[in-house]
Amino acid sequence: MLESELDLGLQHSGYRLSHFQIYNWGTFSDHVVTLDFQGENTLLTGANGSGKTTLVDALLTLLVPREYRTYNLSSGQDGKDGRTEESYVLGAYSTTKGESDYAANKEYLRDKNCHSILLGQFDNDNAEFPLTLMQIRYFTLNGTMQKLFVICEGSLSLQDMAERNVAFDATPGWKKRMTAAFTSTCKLYFFDTFKAYSIEFATRFGFRDREKALRIFSQTVGMKDLSNLNEFIRTRMLVEMDMIGEFNSTLANFETLMGTKKLIEKEEEQIRQLKAIETEAQDFLHLDTKLASLGIEKHTLPFWEGLRADQFLQKEIVRLENQKDLVADRLSENKRESEAIRETIEEVHRTLSSDKRVEREEELKRQREWLTSKLALARANRNNYKTVVDMLHLPLSENSADFTENRFQSDHLLEKITNKLMNIEDDQTDQVQQLGACNRERENVQSQLDAIGNRESNIPLEYLLCREQLCKDLQLKESDVPFLGELVQLRQDCLSFETGANAALHTLALTLLVQPYQEQIIATYLWNNALELHLDVMVIEGTKALPVDEDEKHQLKLVDDEEQVFFEDTNAPNRLDLMLEVKPSCTFAPFIKDLLGREVPYYSCDNLSHVLESPASFSERGLFHKETLLCKGATKKGEELHILGWDVSEKRERIRSRLVQLDDLKKETESVLEDLRKQKKHLEAQKAAILRLQEFKEFSEIDTASVETQIDVLDNQLFALRSEMDDLSSLKQQLRQSEVARDRLVSEQEELYRSQGANQQERKDAEREKKTYADQLANLDLAQYMDQIEKISARYKLPATFESLIQIKKTRNELLAKLDSQIEEISAKRDQSKKKTENLMDHFVRPNAKMTQTYPTWIGDVSDLRPDIEALDMFLAMLDKLEREDLPKYKERFANLRSRQMKSDIINFNTALRQWERHIKENIVELNDSLSSIIYQIHPETKIKLTAERVKDSQIRQFNSMLSAAIPDAGSRIQGNEKAEEIANQHFFEAVKTLLETLKTDDQFCKKVLDVRRWFVFAVEEYDSKTEKQVRYYQDSAGISGGQKAKLAYTILAAAIAHQFDVFDISNVSRSFRFVIVDEAFSKSDDENSRYAMDLFKKMDLQLMVVTPKDKVNLVEPYINSVQITVCNDGCHSFVHSLTKEKLREQLGR
């Protein structure tokens, strides 16, 4: 770096921090801490947690506004440990959490009766007086922290305040006492806000831009990572503008607009629903009116009936009176005619009764009638007889001999059929018993198959499940823990003893065999768990098997030893253990054979006496005997209880084959039974026919021929007699005619009497009916109903006159039924319409969750309404108000907000973004102007400058595209064309909606695109200071070392400080601000570039407070004049020890 570039003509010019004092700040408690800088560079160091960051945060609090200040920056925590001004004032030093606490609790050194003071005095050799800044924090009685800001034109310290008895207190008169105490030495200014305070000291310190200067001061402290050059320039060198706040303001106005739009949508939805209510209610009212009209007609109908009945009955009574007279006249005439006919008939009877031939004719007629009846009975009997003999294949009897022969044959047939029936019944009994046995055997075989199931062995399912659970819990293989019965089975030539062998070995076969290494874990399992069945476990020992030759021939010898008979010869072939074979693949075979030889001393026996005589024996039938124990193996379900054998597949197939055989036998037996049933039915029918045949006792019962002969004889006699009686035919004809005339007159007379009685009754009924109707109409003003009666008559086209009262009542009933039907139909429709209307009302008054979520104020709008048809007027009134007042008002408001407020907001939003964009470009120009005064490299002499190019980012391009689409076109307004203007406004609204909702819903996208600094990609161009040709180009720190990154960053930072502090302005150099806090970021670069940074700040004549750990003291020692060492031995009380440069060198051994 060339000296001339930074030779400003003055040394130690500008405002420099002379001393800094704190009282009650953080862990520096109850004493005044003074850091004496004397305007020179100083080093702040100390162990972690000793208070370095506390002091740095105190200096930041003194100079930097809260919005640019983040506590604990120097520790790299970025404020994440919850430090605040209040926690510093109260002296928070630890965080604890008790067992019953839900959240962590801070521990404090002080309570709210304390106060805290920060004081910094800045000297300037070229100024008339020093400038002292002081901040005081204290608490009111209600616990609220208050702040007081003081600027003093002159020298001031906490010791001076104590000496003059004006140490701070919160009384109202302290300011006056303070001013009076220092009125001769300095001038005091008091401020209630940091902004007013900072404006004042920023002016005195000569900042170009107060906010930018204080921001760069704060960022210098927080600068840690210099690895990303682009991000360093973007976040550290460029001012951040609150575009999120601008966006939120625009969004708030847009949401107001959307709220109005939502109101419009709500009003339109309410109008739509109310219209539906109105339409349905109109249908209801129409039906209600029609129902009322039908009710009036129904009420009028009795009066119509009474009027018409009265008119009819008046005429009817007159008609009946006339009819009565006519009947009486005809009845008198009938009596006269009847008397004359009676006399004629009596005369003819007297003449005929004197002739004997007439009496003979009557006798013959009676005989013929009796023979005719007899012939009909004989014919019926003969037909029944023929049916029976045809069934029995016998001839129809034509004479008594044939009849007798058929009787004889029927007796013989009856005996034969009876014998056949007895044989069939015996056969049926046998077949039924055979079918029952077949079914029972099939059930038994099926139970065997079901018991085997899908198992590979005969071990019962409950034992297999028990083992499965045990192996699962102990993580064992089931094959490693077999049951004895799975490894042993009878030889094929010994299967006849299967039931007995299974009974004898039942307990042993269900014993679980385990190996010695499994014994402990299985015993532990059995100790800790309850089982649902009895389980025996046997540990497999290393016993060798007995040397048994299975091919050796054995003999059995019965020995009588005094009182006991037993089997001798342990190598007998009928010994049970020799009938067994062990599974070939079994690794436990020797042990099992030895076990069987020891535990199964049973011999097979073929009779009961041998079983009882032997101390250990068994039989094919399942009986086994051991000492005093006699047991019988279960055989009810056959093989179901067999447990021996490792492979049941052959047994399963054998059982299935037997099932098929039993099914075939069952079908064959059922077929035989069906044939026997049919034979029996046929024979029983023949037997019944024989019994019916034997009911005919004599041939005469079926003899029709003799009866027919007798009838022929009588017919011949009648014919001959009637031939002799031709002279009496005229008298008989006269008699018949007279009798017909008599019968006609009698019938007529009876009819006239009936008519006379009916007429009398009809007249009584008519008079009674007339009186009834007359009584009904007597108390009514019929005139008032006449109009309605005429309307009913005209509407339903009723006749004016009727033929009968029944016709009137029928018409009345038909019309009443019609009215009732219409009333029922209309009433149902009305009720349905009412229900539908009230349902619509209920839906309107109590909207669903989706509707209330969409329109939260809906419930309040309808709180006075009730879903009742009686409240229809209130709904219609609301509809009228919405249509005439509310909806037009909201639409007008929406149009105004959209066309004025929203357009203005979007224009302002865009303007703010473009303004930030211009500021960025201006900042780059300002930084480059400052960078032009700094030499970056000496050989060759180079300088650097910043470049900013538009970033090629799809999201940022998308945002700018949406923003451009949302900006209203000033020339788009179409005068006089409201429709086109509305379309343009709607397009604008949709564009704004798309833009703002995209920003609102995607927080990352919003933060990115609204940070205009991210619209650019920044780089550094190093150029020859003489030729101005580019030497190197640095972008995104690619291809450069960590030290180069730090060097570039410090150069740019120095330029920014120089610009904001106005270091390079000769006219302002004497009053410029020169104090800078440099944190340990430079320690991450190499020593050469770290010294470059220190030299650069030195050449710029800046006062540095370097914060660094002790291991970097050697690096900064040449550039400092004092050291401030923080100490905190107890974790809650910090102190500062100050060393001069000489003392530091002594400690460093120089």
Lowest mean pLDDT among 313-322, 752-761, 871-880, 1111-1120: 1111-1120
Tokens of 459: 């071990």
Q: How would you classify residue 588: left for phi > 0, otherwise alpha for psi between -120 and 50, otherwise beta?
A: alpha
Could you report the per-residue pLDDT of 539-551, keeping only the tens digit for each?
987 543 333 333 4
45-67 pLDDT, tens digit per residue, is 888 888 999 999 999 999 999 88
Average pLDDT over residues 746-751: 87
Q: Under a CB-based contact definition with an 8 Å cutoff, are residues 203 and 189 in contact?
A: no
Mean pLDDT (whole number) for 526-535:
86
Residue 98 reports pLDDT greater than 70 = no
Amino acid at 869: I
How are beta strands 629-632 and 942-950 bridged, if at all?
A: unpaired
DSSP notation for 970-988: TT---TT-HHHHHHHHHHH
Residue 1001 in any domain: the answer is no
Q: Is 718 left (phi over 0), alpha (psi -120 to 50) or beta?
A: alpha
**Residue 573 domain-assigned (yes or no):** yes
CA distance 195 to 218: 16
Look at residues 210, 230, 259 and tell me which one is the last residue of a structural domain: 210
Same domain, yes or no: 49 and 122: yes
pTM over 0.75: no
For residues 653 and 1100, what is the distance between their CA atoms, to the nearest angstrom? Answer: 107
Distances (CA, A) of 582 to 452, 503, 595: 21, 18, 12
Q: What is the pLDDT of residues 107-137, one digit of tens each?
A: 899 999 999 999 999 999 888 899 999 999 9
* Residues whose CB falls within 8 Å of the CB of residue 938, separated by 6 or more in sequence, listed in order: 1, 2
Cα distances from 627 to residues 105, 118, 415, 558, 615, in angstroms, run 84, 110, 66, 17, 5
Of 157, 184, 210, the last residue of a domain is: 210
Report whether 130 contacts 124 (CB < 8 A).
yes
Average pLDDT on 314-324 reads 85
Is residue 1126 over pLDDT 90?
A: yes
Q: With 50 as the cut, is the pLDDT of residue 561 above it?
A: no
- Report, in angstroms and rounded to the nearest whole number, the Rg of the chain calculated over CA atoms: 66
Q: Are strands 42-46 and 1103-1107 parallel, antiparallel or unpaired?
A: parallel
Do 62 and 193 fall into the same domain? yes
What pLDDT does 117 receive?
A: 97
**How long a stretch of residues is the chain?**
1150
pLDDT at position 724, please? 67
pLDDT per residue as tens digits for the range 752-806: 888 888 888 888 888 888 888 887 777 766 677 788 888 888 888 888 888 888 8
10 Å Cβ neighbour count for 231?
16
Task: Give 1018: exposed, middle or buried? Use CB within 10 Å, 0-12, 13-18, 19+.
Answer: buried
What pLDDT shows up at residue 145? 94
How far is the C-alpha of 833 from the C-alpha of 343, rounded, in Å?
84
Average pLDDT of span 663-683: 91
Residue 560 and residue 435 share a domain: no
Output phi, psi for 557, to 5 deg: -130, 130
Which tokens sit at 126? 């070229």
Res. 346 pLDDT band, cuts 50 70 90: confident
The domain boundary residue, chosen from 678, 697, 716: 697
User: Which of 462, 357, 1046, 986 lies closest to 727, judged by CA?
Assistant: 357
Q: How far apart (Å, rounded) are the C-alpha atoms in residues 1002 and 1004?
A: 6
Distances, alpha carbon 737 to alpha carbons 353, 600, 1078, in Å: 18, 124, 159
- Whether residues 420 and 548 fall in one domain: no
Same-domain pairing of 428 and 573: no
For residue 943, is it within any domain? no
- For residue 1057, the tally of other CB atoms under 10 A from its CB is 22
Q: Which residues pair with 390 in a beta bridge?
A: none
Q: How many domains does the chain have?
A: 3
Q: Is residue 928 part of a domain?
A: no
With a pLDDT cut of 90, the percent of the chain lying above it is 23
Sign of the torsion formed by the C-alpha atoms of 1098, 1104, 1110 and 1112:
negative
- How confident is the model over 968-992, as a mean pLDDT? 72
Query: Quick one: which of 371, 368, 375, 370 has its CA closest to 702?
Result: 375
Query: For residues 275 and 840, what is the distance between their CA atoms, to the nearest angstrom?
Result: 10
Who contacts 546 (Cβ-Cβ below 8 Å, separation ≥6)?
593, 594, 597
Q: 810-862, pLDDT tens digit by residue?
A: 888 988 899 899 999 999 999 999 999 999 999 999 999 999 888 888 999 88
Res. 973 pLDDT band, cuts 50 70 90? low
| pLDDT of res. 802 | 84
For the chain, the distance separating the N- and C-terminal CA atoms, rounded to the nearest angstrom, is: 29
> Do 678 and 616 sit in the same domain of this protein?
no
Give me the domain span that covers residue 516.
488-637
Same-domain pairing of 560 and 673: no
pLDDT at 548: 34
In this structure, is residue 1113 part of a structural domain?
no
Residue 901's Cβ-count burial label (10 Å; 0-12, 13-18, 19+) is middle
Per the CB < 8 A criterion, the answer to whether 458 and 658 are in contact is no
Is residue 572 scored above 70 in pLDDT? Answer: no
pLDDT value of residue 554: 35
Strands (E) in 888-980, as ranges, are 942-950
* Co-location of 613 and 675 in the same domain: no
Give the mean model confidence (pLDDT) for residues 600-627.
70
- For the stretch 923-944, pLDDT in tens is 889 888 888 888 888 888 999 9
Residue 637 has pLDDT above 60, yes or no: no
Q: Does one domain contain both 686 and 604?
A: no
Task: Tell whether 414 is covered by a domain.
Answer: yes
1113 or 1107, which is more confident: 1107
Both 556 and 620 in one domain: the answer is yes
> What confidence tier does 189 reach under pLDDT thresholds 50, 70, 90?
very high
Residue 22 and residue 169 in one domain: yes
List, edge to edge, every strand of the sheet that includes 131-139. 28-36, 16-25, 115-123, 131-139, 145-153, 187-191
617 to each of 489, 496, 502, 570, 624, how far by Cα in Å? 18, 15, 13, 13, 5
State whether 558 and 678 are in the same domain.
no
* 539 is a domain residue: yes
- Tell me the per-residue pLDDT of 375-434, one tens digit each, with 9 for 90 and over: 898 888 888 888 888 888 888 888 888 888 888 888 888 888 889 889 998 998 999 999
Inter-axis angle of helices 194-205 and 210-222, to 10 degrees?
Answer: 90
Please determine, for residue 104, whether its predicted confidence score (pLDDT) is greater than 70.
no
* pLDDT for residue 1008 is more than 80: yes
| CB-CB contact of 217 with 1078 (8 Å) | no
Is the per-residue pLDDT at 555 higher than 50?
no
424 falls within a domain: yes
